[in-house]
Chain A
Amino acid sequence: MTKAESVQLMTDKMAKFVGHIGIKLPDDVIAKLSELREKETSPLAKTIYDTMFKNQEQAVALHRPSCQDTGVLQFWVKCGVNFPLIGELEALLKEAVVKATFATPLRHNSVETFDEYNTKRNVGKGTPTVFWDIVPDDDHCEIYAYMAGGGCTLPGKAMVLMPGAGYEGVTQFVMDQMTSYGLNACPPLLVGVGVATSVETAALLSKKALMRPLGSHNPNERAAQMEKLLEDGINAIGLGPQGMSGNYSVMGVHIENTARHPSTIGVAVNVGCWSHRRGHVIFDKDLNATVTTHSGVQL
């Protein structure tokens, strides 16, 4: 294969994957939603869940995006330094989004700032956004693709607390966002929390947390304990499906953390909606693709 052919091949595979993510939810999300659906008791919550599941089935049957807001694309890339297309990756991911946009179709969700016009291609300056992790001595490329919808992006918030505020302050910060904005972000939500030094470190972690598989825990024991406390606490609010009240509120709470400056606690929250469209794929150096999040997909 020439380099150009390799680029084309990976572009096509990623375009297909992006389109698929818009139509079908990942296995872990479907399983969690089924579990939460079973635990609801009011006719209102049950009816909403029934509609949500019917929608996901029809989206697959009619091959249409399940939600009309197919978001702005974000890619979290973990790339080995010896992966053959490392240099071509950003450009080919952009091309893959354009391709998926017209093939699926996806909504045109890229508006150039200041000039304020829609590019009508679903890509623009810095969109899709690509976040990098470089792995030494490795020739694989792992990609998380995520569709960030408008409604579930809105509750995002970051701030820097003084250490005196402590983890109690972190708790209050996260919980306040749930009742002010979270309820309109199409619950049940996946809540990502970043704990670090400053706004940008915390914010990046809070989004990265949303890529983790549901049911996974932070390796730090206290952080994992706090994930559970927050999950139970937010569930106790009883936002229910669509924020219209019910027995549960969230699919999970994921905390990601780093060390911090002794004088600050940077904290951020990001949420994913019930239509949590994220997919994970691993390419080897010959561009064989393994999808880990969606069963039954061959790229």
Chain B
Amino acid sequence: MVENRNGKKVLVTPISAEDLADIKIGDIVWLDGDLMTCRDVAHRRLVEGGRELPYDIRGKAIFHAGPIVRPIEGQKDAYEMVSVGPTTSMRMEKFEYEFTKTTGVRVIVGKGGMGPNTERACKECGAIHCVFPAGCAVVAATEVERIAEHHWDELGMPETLWCCKVKEFGPLIVSIDTQGRNMFEENKVTFNQKKDAAVAEICKHVSFIK
């Protein structure tokens, strides 16, 4: 479901492919509902090991992140999110097409761009990749209302699947949309053109060796 809340576009899980159809690269969205941390080993287990995820993420969101969590004192098996920031999404690129196809995940959150596998996944399955501003781990942690479940604890704190309930989690900047457009790739072309122009300009002034 998509809600317009005080000018903020909020995606509420479960999210459908239609919900995402109008969303374009460069848009800013927010997330309410279910967000599960999921990174290297979990992707590998599912894609290479053929294992099923212990938590259903169909229509929900994943976060490429390795958080710091701590047990809540006086409660049994309850954890609090202390700090959670995105990690480089490109490490999951290799697995993301199959991962998305198998799990039905709709929103992938991470850091930096992803490549053709994820573009294909987003286009074929109706999903998006978004970036959460890096270095903003305290903001992200406070937007997690609670950790509802956790799985694959044997992988250690960063790799455990922390299933979070989030409220207006964001800003999420859409970097790959459901048409498969890729903001990072498009930016790279412009950046390189501007770089070449800047280099030519600087070189006019630095002939110090004569």
Contact = CB atoms under 8 A, between A and B. Distances in A.
Interface stretch (B52-60, B95-103, B118-126, B202-210): B202-210
B26 to A, nearest CB: 6
B147 interface: no
A44 B28 contact: yes
A233 B199 contact: yes
A107 B205 CA distance: 44
Contacts of B201: 229, 233
Contacts of B190: 238, 245
A178 B199 CA distance: 12
Given A68-B68, A225-B205, A236 B137 contact: no
A21 interface: no
A50 to B, nearest CB: 8
A275 interface: yes
- Interface residue tally of chain A, by bracket? 35 or more
A68 B83 contact: yes
Interface string B4-32: 00000000000000000000001010000
Contact of B135 (A175, A230, A233, A274): A274
A226 B202 CA distance: 8
Nearest to B175: A244
B191 A68 contact: no
A281 interface: no
Contacts of B88: 151, 184
Contact of B206 (A48, A55, A179, A229): A229
A68 B84 contact: yes
A166 B207 contact: yes
Given A166-B209, A233-B199, 16 more contacts: A48-B173, A51-B133, A51-B171, A52-B133, A68-B137, A69-B85, A105-B68, A151-B111, A167-B208, A167-B209, A168-B206, A184-B111, A236-B194, A237-B194, A242-B134, A274-B135
19 contacts: A48-B171, A166-B208, A167-B209, A168-B206, A184-B88, A184-B112, A222-B208, A226-B202, A230-B202, A234-B198, A236-B197, A236-B198, A237-B195, A238-B190, A242-B131, A243-B112, A244-B131, A245-B187, A273-B135
Interface of B: 26, 28, 66-68, 82-85, 88, 111-112, 131, 133-139, 141-142, 171, 173, 175, 183, 187-188, 190-192, 194-195, 197-199, 201-203, 205-209
